[in-house]
Amino acid sequence: MARDCGLGEAACRLRFFRFTGTLSMFKPDPFLLSLICTVLLATIVPCHGAAVPMFQDLAIAVIAVMFFLQGARLSRQAVLGGIVNWRLHLAILLCTFALFPLLGMGLHALFPHLLHQSVWLGILFLCCLPSTVQSSIAFTSIARGNVPAAVCAATTSNIAGIFITPVLTGLVLERQGAASGHGGVLAIMMQLLLPFVLGQVLQPWLGAWAHRNKRLLSMTDRGSILIVVYTAFSEAVVQGLWHKLPLSQIGLVMVVDGVLLAAVLLATTMGSRVLGFPREDEIAIVFCGSKKTLASGVPMANVLFAPATVGLVVLPLMIYHQIQLFVCAVLARRYAAAHDRLAEAEAVVERA
């Protein structure tokens, strides 16, 4: 191997593992494939008739369990540990809950007839959602960024989103002349916040168990989301989803999602540099400020919107989820490569 690449064997292996690691970042997300299969199942075999209320009650129950378990496994130190870096957290919260909604409303004002009305609701709802936790931290780590700050910021964003997202969604949709359906703040509090708070109260007793069973809880979260997606898309299919939404609309959703992500990535990158954040903090701001959570977004949509519209509403979020994974994988690798080049240059200077 060393002769083939003209380097030492260790260096060749390092390049090989970096190359295969980069390729692995572009593999389709297994959870996204599960979501696609669930949508196909709902299209072919939608629940209807007497099964509908049963699945709706099941969806409410699994959402409550999911948020209870999130509260049980969330360490309070993760929230409090990095709170001292208030400028960074404020920047991320402003990107998540101010910049995104402004961009979404701007696009809707410019192109009101580009997408189906329910799909536009989904775009605007997407803009009001909190950041992700797991992928924000993972990409910040890969990019050699400020991981403790990312943990704190992403966690804070998720907790704040339980309060902010329903209120912000109502304000944004009211401004655009739409309604957010049968839900609202009270429904969010009863179905999401109350189980979450109960989980936090029991966290000292359940936290260690939750930490030991991360894999099981992750499967529980994903299974809960799949049940909600199946229920939502079944209702949408029965209401004529695929007659209302041609394939061209899905392509346009991808374009709008891509424009949103590109605008936020540019704003977070340039804004971090203008405000004088160090590179490690810039990375945390870029990755935490540009993400939107699928794990919390689907349950919130199920609470906030009428059953007939939930399928169309969550479609932009499902597409955005995969786009953000692909794009941020590239960015994380570029940040990491730049960090490694800088470290090598500094090492050469020190040896000199």
Beta carbons of 58 and 234 less than 8 angstroms apart: no
Per-residue pLDDT, 17: 46
Q: What is the pLDDT of residues 236-270, one digit of tens each?
A: 788 777 777 788 898 999 999 999 999 999 999 99
- Contact (Cβ atoms closer than 8 angstroms) between residue 87 and residue 272: no
Q: How confident is the model at residue 131 (pLDDT cuts 50, 70, 90)?
A: very high
Cβ atoms of 89 and 112 closer than 8 Å = no
Of 2, 27, 29, 33, the closest CA to residue 15 belongs to 2
How many other CB atoms are there within 10 angstroms of residue 48's CB atom? 12
Class (C level, CATH) for 31-346: mainly alpha
**pLDDT on residue 181:** 47
Token pair, residue 92, equals: 């991320």
Q: Tokens standing for 349? A: 């200077």
Confidence of residue 178 (pLDDT cuts 50, 70, 90): low
Q: CA end-to-end span of the chain, whole Å?
A: 30
> Positive or negative CA dihedral for 108, 302, 135, 326?
negative
pLDDT exceeds 90 at position 310: no
Alpha-carbon dihedral angle through residues 137, 142, 143, 146, given to the nearest 10 degrees = 40
Cα 295 to its chain centre, rounded Å, is 7
On the question of pLDDT at 288 being above 80, the answer is: yes
Q: What is the pLDDT of residues 322-341, one digit of tens each?
A: 889 889 888 988 898 887 77
CA distance 120 to 239: 18
Domain boundaries, the chain: 31-346
Average pLDDT, the chain: 82
Cβ-count burial 198-234 (b if 16+ within 10 Å, e if not)? ebbeebeebbeebeeeeeebeeebbebbbbbbbbbbb
Query: Using an 8 Å Cβ cutoff, are 184 and 53 in contact?
Result: no
Tokens 């260690």 sit at which residue? 208
Is residue 188 a contact partner of residue 162, using CB atoms and an 8 Å limit?
A: yes
Taking every pair of C-alpha atoms in the chain, what is the biggest distance, in angstroms? Answer: 78
pLDDT in tens, 73-125: 777 665 565 566 788 999 999 999 999 999 999 999 999 999 988 899 999 99
